[in-house]
Amino acid sequence: MTLNKAKILIVDDDIQMQRYISVVAEAEGYRFRLADDGESALQLLEQEVFDLVISDINMTGMTGVELLTFCQKNYADLAVIMVTGVDDRKTAIFTLEIGAYGYITKPFQPNELIINITNALRRRQLEMENRRHREELELRVAERTAELSRSREETILILSKAAEFRDNQTALHTNRMGSFCETLARLLELPDSLCNRLRAAAPLHDVGKIGISDNILLKPGRLTTEEFEIVKTHCKIGHRILADSTSDILQIGSVIAQTHHEKFDGSGYPYGLKGEEIPIAGRLAAVCDVFDALTSERVYKAPISISDALKIIHEDSGSHFDPAIVEIFLKHADQILEIKSHLSR
Ligand SMILES: [Fe+2]
Ligand SMILES: [Fe+2]
């Protein structure tokens, strides 16, 4: 919009003043419409797009201040100039404070009016450009933030896959762990931010297996007691790998790595934590990890049937698993199975 193509709404209950302003504005090439009071001004604003409102302060019915407030709230790109009598000086200053672009005291010279109109329109244009620029920046920041969090989650997933591959498991197991834990957390109505972090962090549960030697990890036969003791250290190793991170996802990852083999009755490892001493993230991961291991094929074993796996989860409620989580798990087993089939290819 060039400034002199601007469209002005002139609001005044004094018809002579209306005419005076409109003559000056028209002589400068501005388009204009007239309103005798606030109410008809609102109607015109609804029907047409204006760049500037020049409004009297003292009008019968809706006052100029009320009209200004309404415009501020509903028309972000609209500039408003107030026209005031000599006794309205205080009110005029007040209108500047609440967002008017200027005020003119009656009586005024045409020049004074033109200068005010030009200034108001220039300022409006600058503010509109600023706002557009700010919105563009905000959009770019939001895009970059989303990209960063995507790549952060991807990096975490790749790290977990690296650990899982060494253990003859599939990368899909890590993906499923994320989705299972997130789904259960949502069903338990845990906070949204925690649910999102669980999805990203649960794949890291076995990252500590990076620190277990291949001789043990890939041994085809049964492990000796000593060897199994070494395998168990993957919980503490995983915790050590992740614990120092300042990332909230890796922090939860370290908790899951440390506690996903704890059992509700205190018979798990590495610390023999009991009940709610085990963080909720670890209790969730325990159920999901066992269920997925039971129902997945590994080089050394065939999968067991879904119904047998659900039976085991049910039987181990309260001993291995948190009963509240098992209850939700079994009640919504259809959702878990849907993820399983979706993330099995
Ligand atoms: Fe594990
Ligand atoms: Fe696992």
Q: What is the CATH number of the domain that holds 72?
A: 3.40.50.2300
Q: Could you tell me which residues are beta bridge partners of residue 9? A: 33, 53
* Residues with C-beta atoms within 5 A of ion ligand 1: 206
Sheet with 31-35, side-by-side order of all strands: 31-35, 7-11, 52-56, 79-84, 102-105
Among residues 138, 159, 177, which one ends one of the domains? 138
170 alpha carbon, closest ligand: 2
Residue 338 Cα to ligand 1 middle (Å): 23
Q: Does the structure show a pLDDT above 90 at 289?
A: yes
Among residues 123, 138, 153, which one ends one of the domains? 138
Structural domain includes residue 147 = no
Residue 234 Cα to ligand 1 middle (Å): 7
d(CA 199, CA 147): 17
Structural domain includes residue 148 = no
257 alpha carbon, closest ligand: 1
Q: Which residue has the tokens 């041994």?
A: 219
237 alpha carbon, closest ligand: 1
My answer on whether 51 and 175 are in the same domain is: no
Q: How many domains does the chain have?
A: 2
At position 193, the amino acid (one-letter code) is S
**How many residues are recorded in the chain?**
345
Segment 19-37 shows an average pLDDT of 96
Structural domain includes residue 144 = no
Residue 215 Cα to ligand 2 middle (Å): 19
Q: Which residue has the tokens 């925690």?
A: 194
Angle at 17 between CA 11 and CA 23, to 5 degrees: 95
Residue 169 Cα to ligand 2 middle (Å): 8
* Numbers of helices and strands, H then E, in the chain: 15, 5
My answer on whether 179 and 43 are in the same domain is: no
pLDDT mean across residues, the chain: 92
Q: Could you tell me which residues are beta bridge partners of residue 80? A: 53
Range of the domain at 126: 3-138
My answer on whether 85 and 182 are in the same domain is: no
Structural domain includes residue 159 = no
Residue 291 Cα to ligand 2 middle (Å): 10
Structural domain includes residue 274 = yes
**279 closest CA partner among 159, 161, 181, 174:** 181
My answer on whether 305 and 194 are in the same domain is: yes
CB 174 within 8 A of CB 155: no
Structural domain includes residue 279 = yes
My answer on whether 337 and 230 are in the same domain is: yes
Residue 289 Cα to ligand 2 middle (Å): 5
Residue 331 Cα to ligand 2 middle (Å): 23
Q: Which residue has the tokens 């600023």?
A: 130
Q: pLDDT tens digit string along 190-203?
A: 999 999 999 999 99
Angle at 219 between CA 216 and CA 225, to 5 degrees: 55
Handedness of CA 123, 127, 128, 130 (dihedral sign): positive
Structural domain includes residue 157 = no
269 alpha carbon, closest ligand: 1
206 alpha carbon, closest ligand: 1
pLDDT band (50, 70, 90) for residue 299: low
pTM, two decimals, is 0.66
Give the pLDDT of residue 323.
98
CATH at residue 205: 1.10.3210.10
My answer on whether 98 and 172 are in the same domain is: no
288 alpha carbon, closest ligand: 2
d(CA 296, CA 161): 16
My answer on whether 174 and 260 are in the same domain is: yes
My answer on whether 133 and 198 are in the same domain is: no
Residue 235 Cα to ligand 1 middle (Å): 7
My answer on whether 183 and 295 are in the same domain is: yes
Q: Does the structure show a pLDDT above 60 at 3?
A: no
Beta-sheet pairing, 7-11 with 52-56: parallel
Residue 205 Cα to ligand 1 middle (Å): 6
Give the pLDDT of residue 5.
81
Segment 40-53 shows an average pLDDT of 97
My answer on whether 199 and 327 are in the same domain is: yes
Q: pLDDT tens digit string along 253-262?
A: 999 999 999 9
Q: Does the structure show a pLDDT above 70 at 237?
A: yes
Structural domain includes residue 68 = yes
Tell me which of 129-138, 143-152, 328-337 is least confident.
143-152
Among residues 119, 138, 157, which one ends one of the domains? 138
My answer on whether 70 and 207 are in the same domain is: no
My answer on whether 29 and 110 are in the same domain is: yes
**260 closest CA partner among 229, 227, 291:** 291
